[in-house]
């Protein structure tokens, strides 16, 4: 396998872009600088282009599209039908139903569809009590669609918010655009009848995608990311520090991040800080010397696939050892490459495909099934890394 030699700037963050598309649906004058051709963004754009005027809205496998779009559609009087894969609707959606009903909607959930009958938001109590223990996307969805509402909105997620940095990303982004959000103990209050104060915003490059490339550079070659943000709302912005702790050569100067391969060492990592990093990072630590420890991975079972189960299957196929105990995963890494043929099914999970791509770059003889699922978030992944499928 040849060494990676990447120089450039990746497309806009799909997490930020889809949040901003919801806001733009309230304020068409908002200019988004940046672009993304990933599947999730295209689905959101298509749905919002026909807001309230479609018979059905296809959400594919995308949790953020289903959850964010449901709240946006519920602001529009009428009957709305959202469809998607069975896996999407098998993921936790109870909190979505609870929230929509508190907003005065009638809701029917099927194995691959969600029907919403709305007269526009009609708050049924003093506060929206929506658990964020399994996903913060439900409360993010409410906040994203709270613009121009004529009453104050109290959001009560409780004291436990899973992946809190994604929630804070939503809050900070909305505040940057002018939305006034106040925190009262564990509650959040949105003031009524709010309008946009910022007319243009630059959407940062996708740092989840950047990490997938940086991880390959960490084992073979180098990657130079131009226009890399000096500070970022994205949780995966921690990846340069994580790679540095693993012994990878990292440098940052003049908004340019440089990653170069080096011998890898084990780390400790809190999955709750940046859960999207886990699949690729787990494979990377399997190649590092020593025992890496991962904690707080409960939400991994509720992604596009059961990521914990499937990544451990891949690591086992790589002939690496791990120990899974309550609230902790230990991966016993070493740099040796197992030469036997491996077959790995990415299912419908883009993060699994990128993790398998890293394993292939490490030198494993791996047949990757369903590799094209990367189009969900990073269509150019295989072209950039130059790996033959």
Instruction: Give the CATH superfamily of 37-190.
Output: Enolpyruvate transferase domain (3.65.10.10)
- pLDDT for the residue 235: 96
| pTM as predicted | 0.95
CA distance 210 to 277: 10
Q: Please give the order of strands across the beta sheet that includes 249-253.
A: 4-8, 221-225, 256-260, 249-253
User: pLDDT digits over 190-201, tens only?
Assistant: 999 999 999 999
> Which secondary-structure segment (H or E) carries 269?
strand 268-270
Concatenated DSSP letters of 321-366: EEEEETTEEEEEE-S----S-EEEE-TT-HHHHHHHHHHHHHT--E
Query: Position of tokens 């959001």?
Result: 155
Q: Quick one: tokens of 171?
A: 């809050």
Residues 6 or more apart whose CB falls under 8 angstroms from that of 388 comprise none
Beta carbons of 130 and 103 less than 8 angstroms apart: no
- pLDDT for the residue 389: 60
User: pLDDT digits over 76-114, tens only?
Assistant: 999 999 999 998 999 889 999 999 999 999 999 999 999
The domain locations on the chain are 4-8+204-385, 37-190
Under DSSP, the state recorded for 145 is: T
CA distance 378 to 210: 10
Beta carbons of 189 and 175 less than 8 angstroms apart: no
The bridge status of strand 268-270 relative to strand 290-295 is parallel
Query: Position of tokens 């999730």?
Result: 40
Whether 68 has a pLDDT exceeding 90, the answer reads: yes
Q: What is the mean pLDDT of the segment spanning 12-36?
A: 97
- pLDDT for the residue 1: 67
User: pLDDT digits over 203-256, tens only?
Assistant: 999 999 999 999 999 999 999 999 999 999 999 999 999 999 999 999 999 999
Under DSSP, the state recorded for 161 is: B
Domain 4-8+204-385 has CATH 1.10.3720.10: no
């Amino acid at each position: 396998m040849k060494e990676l030699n990447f120089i450039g700037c990746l497309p806009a963050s799909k997490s930020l872009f889809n949040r901003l598309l919801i806001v733009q649906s309230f304020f068409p004058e908002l200019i988004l600088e940046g672009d993304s051709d990933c599947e999730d963004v295209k689905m959101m754009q298509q749905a919002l282009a026909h807001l309230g005027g479609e018979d059905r809205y296809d959400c594919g496998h995308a949790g953020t599209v289903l959850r964010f779009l449901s709240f946006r559609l519920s602001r529009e009087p009428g009957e709305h039908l959202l469809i998607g894969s069975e896996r999407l609707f098998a993921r936790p959606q109870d909190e979505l139903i609870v929230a929509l009903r508190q907003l005065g909607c009638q809701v029917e959930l099927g194995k691959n569809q969600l029907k919403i009958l709305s007269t526009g938001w009609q708050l049924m109590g003093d506060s929206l009590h929506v658990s964020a223990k399994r996903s913060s996307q439900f409360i993010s969805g409410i906040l994203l669609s709270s613009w121009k509402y004529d009453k104050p909105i109290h959001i009560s997620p409780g004291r436990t918010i899973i992946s809190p940095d994604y929630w804070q990303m939503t809050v900070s982004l909305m505040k940057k655009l002018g939305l006034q959000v106040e925190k009262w103990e564990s509650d959040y209050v949105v003031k009524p009848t709010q309008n946009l104060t910022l007319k243009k915003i630059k959407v940062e490059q996708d740092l989840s995608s950047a990490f997938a490339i940086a991880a390959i550079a960490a084992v073979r070659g180098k990657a130079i990311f131009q226009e890399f943000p000096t500070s970022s709302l994205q949780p995966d912005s921690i990846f340069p520090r994580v790679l540095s702790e693993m012994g990878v050569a990292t440098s940052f100067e003049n908004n340019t991040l440089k990653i170069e391969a080096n011998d890898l060492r084990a780390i400790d990592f809190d999955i709750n800080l940046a859960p999207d990093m886990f699949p690729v990072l787990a494979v990377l630590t399997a190649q590092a010397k020593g025992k890496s420890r991962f904690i707080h991975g409960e939400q991994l079972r509720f992604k596009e696939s059961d990521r914990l189960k499937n990544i451990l299957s891949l690591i086992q196929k790589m002939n690496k050892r791990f120990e899974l105990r309550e609230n902790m995963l230990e991966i016993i890494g070493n740099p040796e490459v197992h030469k036997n043929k491996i077959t790995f099914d990415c299912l419908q999970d883009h993060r699994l495909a990128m993790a398998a791509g890293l394993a292939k770059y490490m030198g494993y003889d791996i047949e990757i099934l369903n590799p094209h699922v990367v189009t969900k978030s990073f269509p150019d992944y295989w072209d950039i890394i130059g790996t033959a499928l």
